[in-house]
Chains A and B, each alone.
Chain A
């Protein structure tokens, strides 16, 4: 996990400072990212996605449109799936962020959802994948918190939250079905 802040609980790491001469107001923020405290000075207009990618070094979050449509940049903010291209860095002061890098321990096994994506060949170029993974992770956690069962059609509807240009979605749907305990319909065993 290149560029990940220190994972020692309670430690505060300083994100890379802004480049020269950014002519907008600055804000001091403290935010928990993947379990680590991060303190940073950020400009008013800095996108959360750019903060995560270029200041904190967590490049697993990808920008596919910067317009809130494609879902590739989805991260979890206080447990909710958020398009990190539609949120500004100053808005996350005091909040807890999780990115794709947090879904599995660096040397540990993949999460159930990640594992299903590889089993079902649910990714090709992999650019949109972190968005799907974060979106499905939030979806699963929210349902669990609410004690709610997820139906297959709920799951199908959730998949419309992100774009994928490579897979035609069929294997993403299979992966999601496998991860959520439904019959994947896989034909390759």
Chain B
């Protein structure tokens, strides 16, 4: 960005674009962080939940009497009690259907979650009773003493089985197990497929994952007798939504609730939706007049917090003889878990990101969100895009095989070009308005990725491979795979920023978008400093404290930089004008002759005159009436007019060890595009962090249930997380296509890194197996763990279609 918009002075931008080291680090490195569980609040009570052991059961009786007598117990709550005091949970914002989407006649059932179960439990892990005691140890002791009589009911875990006519109902009282359904497209897919030269039809699935941030969800609620208000310190990604929801659910004014973000140990989506515990803890704090703390343990995090990703895609691609797509059809099945918690978010994201960077004149996508007796699901980094990309990019590789084309060449033939931007796909985006990609250069990204990964060398090396299964440990089979994706970032409706000069002459920036590790205290000041004419180290950021900025949405959906960043930029421009006006009065000068750098106002041609902000703010008259008499502060809200569409290409070279089934990533390249980059060091690390999660997803992570709905992974010993040796040094390149949707020209990139790896690596593994003679193997899903790869290799060969 060279210059600011019309309504501000010319602003140089030396700080945007710099890889500045993070101001967050010093505290975190010294052990001085303040995560929720680190808050030292004397007398805080602790919580343990009794959770359902059954996937589906009727509750006949709950007896909490013995638990109440247990040492150190202060209170025990059951569903019958709390249902009279707290409204059932609805993620109202996520469940809202925009008018344009409503015109598609979607199914979007409102299925409020009981705060604590009363007569029915629908998944293992559902909260049934809440014990509050002097310590977590004592609370857990008492949980053991609660007696519950369950009558087990038929349960269903498989989403496709749940759609069969005779399937048990996952949630009693519903007509069927469909929570969400929408079908949308453009053109005539049947007609296009009937005349297509090549048609591939496949089923690709993404298995169930857990976000599993290193810090599980938690919150502390304190009812302050002095203010008669609740203060809630929370790990949430969306403090304002939590504030409003607490107020609404327990029947108090939102003025009586302050939600404050502290250090948060990763979120990734799991902390971006509202859950019942976030209502129960504040309620108990008010009910008992005591501070109450609940920190989920890892068992709760893995089995009873949100899961994600489980989707099945029955996808059909049709192409002409040159490989140009003529039609895309997909029937997407999304496992929602026990109820419809977040509506169309993930299913529709999958729908409207499926075709991605390709031109496809005829599209027909049906997506069905299915209820099962598993824990509820949330968006997880990418929120439907990794799953859709897995299906589309696997299908593109199958199509390339049919056409005997290099997969990267097939992609190139179908890419929307930079000349076609802005590009309308013909379908509706998530807001229900025509989907329009704002900017990008997909062919250039692909060319760079092909060159960086050195496709020709990999193909040459493959030509020398010995085929057939080998039990020699030294034998490896090499493969290469690509995945392309795009992501419509910068979700609205808005985010705000308030910038003000403090009495000490520093700048404080308030915003509703807190950090869970993204470095907002470093990045937002780079933006604001440029707009204002101060140094980043003169700015302090307060993010996610609802008492300091009244409205906010939060840090989800690759939106914080686009929305809060642009709000901060505009607030800075406005505040700079206010500062210069005020300084002009003090200095008796023309505002046009004034400049500010490093927080010091100066007059052109009078180098001896310097007015630091600390002196200026002291000079502002505190007088009755009149604009500006309250000091120097400006608030701006940014409402994105359209999504800022970021994009990327991932290319992976892998080795498969046929004797063990082990997949090793030999080289991994990311070429991405996310508009102007504010802090390249942090931006790259966001992408790489996403890649790490994607690698975990395709190589090891799997949240499984047995056929009675018992989770088979409840610790990190059985939910396998990626470790350092699985992730190679990621080689990166980027192109810049500034977004015309916002003054900074930025795009979100928090999620993108996680979108590509499952498809790129699965494509590479299938390529390796095919090159070694196993042309019969189609990799339909992850994780590609050693045992799974060995199973694939052992499968009886069946003839290629």
Q: Which A residues fall within an 8 A CB radius of B?
A: 1-3, 18-23, 43, 45-46, 53, 57-67, 69-70, 72, 99-101, 103-104, 106, 110, 114, 117-119, 121, 123-130, 133, 156-157, 159-160, 163-173, 185, 187-189
Known: A22-B71, A163-B716, A189-B19. A114 touches B30 (CB 8 A): yes
Known: A22-B135, A160-B724, A188-B680. A125 touches B266 (CB 8 A): yes
By a CB distance below 8 angstroms, the chain B residues around A46 are 137
Known: A69-B717, A114-B30. 14 other contacts (CB 8 A): A3-B40, A59-B38, A66-B298, A101-B32, A103-B31, A106-B30, A125-B266, A126-B517, A127-B33, A130-B31, A159-B723, A167-B692, A169-B722, A170-B727
Q: Which of B212-220, B651-659, B777-785 is found at the contact surface with chain A?
A: B212-220
By a CB distance below 8 angstroms, the chain A residues around B729 are 170, 173, 185
A101 and B518 CA atoms in complex are apart in Å by: 23
A-B contacts, 13 listed (Cβ < 8 Å):
A2-B32, A22-B72, A57-B40, A59-B31, A121-B682, A125-B263, A126-B29, A126-B517, A127-B33, A127-B214, A168-B691, A173-B729, A185-B729
Q: Which of B20-28, B151-159, B497-505, B735-743 is found at the contact surface with chain A?
A: B20-28
Known: A19-B138, A62-B265. A173 touches B214 (CB 8 A): no
Number of A-B residue pairs, CB cutoff 8 Å, is 208
Residue pair A129, B727 in contact (C-beta under 8 Å):
no
Residue pair A1, B32 in contact (C-beta under 8 Å):
yes
A30 and B503 CA atoms in complex are apart in Å by: 48
A40 to chain B, nearest CB (A): 15
A167 and B214 CA atoms in complex are apart in Å by: 11
Residue pair B689, A118 in contact (C-beta under 8 Å):
no
Please pick, from B72, B682, B693, the residue contacting A165 in the complex, using a CB distance under 8 A: B693
Known: A169-B724, A169-B727, A172-B724. A101 touches B689 (CB 8 A): no
Please pick, from B31, B266, B518, B715, the residue contacting A1 in the complex, using a CB distance under 8 A: B31
Which 6 residue pairs across A and B have the least CB separation, nearest first? A60-B31, A168-B692, A125-B517, A127-B265, A126-B28, A69-B716
A53 and B517 CA atoms in complex are apart in Å by: 22
A45 and B138 CA atoms in complex are apart in Å by: 11
* In the assembled complex, B427 has its CB within 8 A of some CB on chain A: no
* In the assembled complex, B13 has its CB within 8 A of some CB on chain A: no
Known: A160-B724, A168-B691. A128 touches B134 (CB 8 A): no
Q: What range describes how many residues of B lie at the interface?
A: 35 or more
A101 and B35 CA atoms in complex are apart in Å by: 15
* In the assembled complex, B711 has its CB within 8 A of some CB on chain A: no
A66 and B216 CA atoms in complex are apart in Å by: 11
Q: Give 1 or 0 for each of B685-705: 1 = CB within 8 Å of chain A CB.
A: 100111111010000000000
Q: Describe A's contact surface by its main secondary structure.
A: loop
Q: Give 1 or 0 for each of B132-172: 1 = CB within 8 Å of chain A CB.
A: 00110110010000000000000000000000000000000
A166 and B688 CA atoms in complex are apart in Å by: 9
Q: Describe B's contact surface by its main secondary structure.
A: loop
A168 and B713 CA atoms in complex are apart in Å by: 22
* In the assembled complex, B37 has its CB within 8 A of some CB on chain A: yes
Closest residue on chain B to residue A110 by CB atoms: B29
A163 and B24 CA atoms in complex are apart in Å by: 20
Residue pair A22, B138 in contact (C-beta under 8 Å):
yes
By a CB distance below 8 angstroms, the chain B residues around A20 are 71-72, 134
Please report which residues of chain B, range 28-82, place their CB below 8 angstroms from some CB of chain A when the two chains form the complex.
28-35, 37-38, 40, 71-72
A30 to chain B, nearest CB (A): 23
By a CB distance below 8 angstroms, the chain A residues around B684 are 187-188
Closest residue on chain B to residue A70 by CB atoms: B716
Residue pair B266, A99 in contact (C-beta under 8 Å):
no
B25 to chain A, nearest CB (A): 4
Residue pair A165, B688 in contact (C-beta under 8 Å):
no
By a CB distance below 8 angstroms, the chain B residues around A45 are 137
A53 and B680 CA atoms in complex are apart in Å by: 36
A133 and B213 CA atoms in complex are apart in Å by: 19
* In the assembled complex, B7 has its CB within 8 A of some CB on chain A: no
Closest residue on chain B to residue A69 by CB atoms: B716
Residue pair B215, A62 in contact (C-beta under 8 Å):
yes
By a CB distance below 8 angstroms, the chain A residues around B264 are 125
Known: A70-B716, A167-B692. A173 touches B25 (CB 8 A): no
Q: Which B residues fall within an 8 A CB radius of A?
A: 19, 21-22, 24-26, 28-35, 37-38, 40, 71-72, 134-135, 137-138, 141, 212-215, 263-266, 268, 297-298, 516-519, 680-682, 684-685, 688-693, 695, 715-717, 721-725, 727, 729-730, 732, 753
Known: A59-B31, A133-B29. A127 touches B298 (CB 8 A): no
Known: A45-B137, A165-B693, A167-B692. A126 touches B268 (CB 8 A): no
Known: A124-B685, A156-B724, A163-B716. A118 touches B517 (CB 8 A): no
A18 and B723 CA atoms in complex are apart in Å by: 37
A130 and B13 CA atoms in complex are apart in Å by: 35
Residue pair A58, B138 in contact (C-beta under 8 Å):
no
Known: A62-B265, A125-B215, A125-B516. A169 touches B723 (CB 8 A): yes
By a CB distance below 8 angstroms, the chain B residues around A124 are 266, 517-519, 685, 689
A131 to chain B, nearest CB (A): 9
By a CB distance below 8 angstroms, the chain A residues around B213 are 125, 127, 165
By a CB distance below 8 angstroms, the chain A residues around B298 are 64-67, 70
Residue pair A110, B30 in contact (C-beta under 8 Å):
yes
A182 to chain B, nearest CB (A): 13
A151 to chain B, nearest CB (A): 14
Please pick, from A21, A100, A157, the residue contacting B31 in the complex, using a CB distance under 8 A: A100
By a CB distance below 8 angstroms, the chain A residues around B212 are 165
Residue pair B724, A125 in contact (C-beta under 8 Å):
no
A50 to chain B, nearest CB (A): 8
Residue pair B214, A125 in contact (C-beta under 8 Å):
yes
B32 to chain A, nearest CB (A): 7
Closest residue on chain B to residue A168 by CB atoms: B692
A126 and B521 CA atoms in complex are apart in Å by: 14
Please pick, from B19, B32, B518, the residue contacting A188 in the complex, using a CB distance under 8 A: B19
Residue pair B715, A126 in contact (C-beta under 8 Å):
no
Residue pair A119, B21 in contact (C-beta under 8 Å):
yes
A100 and B38 CA atoms in complex are apart in Å by: 14
Residue pair B72, A21 in contact (C-beta under 8 Å):
yes
A22 and B134 CA atoms in complex are apart in Å by: 9
Please pick, from A123, A127, A171, the residue contacting B688 in the complex, using a CB distance under 8 A: A171
Residue pair A101, B31 in contact (C-beta under 8 Å):
yes
A97 and B37 CA atoms in complex are apart in Å by: 21
A82 and B298 CA atoms in complex are apart in Å by: 19
Residue pair A188, B681 in contact (C-beta under 8 Å):
yes
Residue pair B33, A159 in contact (C-beta under 8 Å):
no
A171 and B681 CA atoms in complex are apart in Å by: 10
Closest residue on chain B to residue A63 by CB atoms: B37
A144 to chain B, nearest CB (A): 21
Residue pair A72, B30 in contact (C-beta under 8 Å):
no
Known: A69-B716, A125-B214. A167 touches B138 (CB 8 A): no
Closest residue on chain B to residue A113 by CB atoms: B29
By a CB distance below 8 angstroms, the chain B residues around A64 are 214-215, 298
A177 and B214 CA atoms in complex are apart in Å by: 23
Closest residue on chain B to residue A3 by CB atoms: B40
A153 and B72 CA atoms in complex are apart in Å by: 50
By a CB distance below 8 angstroms, the chain A residues around B35 are 59, 62, 127
Residue pair B72, A167 in contact (C-beta under 8 Å):
no
Residue pair A165, B268 in contact (C-beta under 8 Å):
yes
A59 and B214 CA atoms in complex are apart in Å by: 15
Known: A66-B298, A166-B689, A170-B727. A58 touches B29 (CB 8 A): no
A106 to chain B, nearest CB (A): 8
Residue pair A123, B28 in contact (C-beta under 8 Å):
yes
By a CB distance below 8 angstroms, the chain A residues around B72 are 19-22
Most buried by A among B137, B518, B693, B717: B137
By a CB distance below 8 angstroms, the chain B residues around A121 are 21-22, 681-682, 685
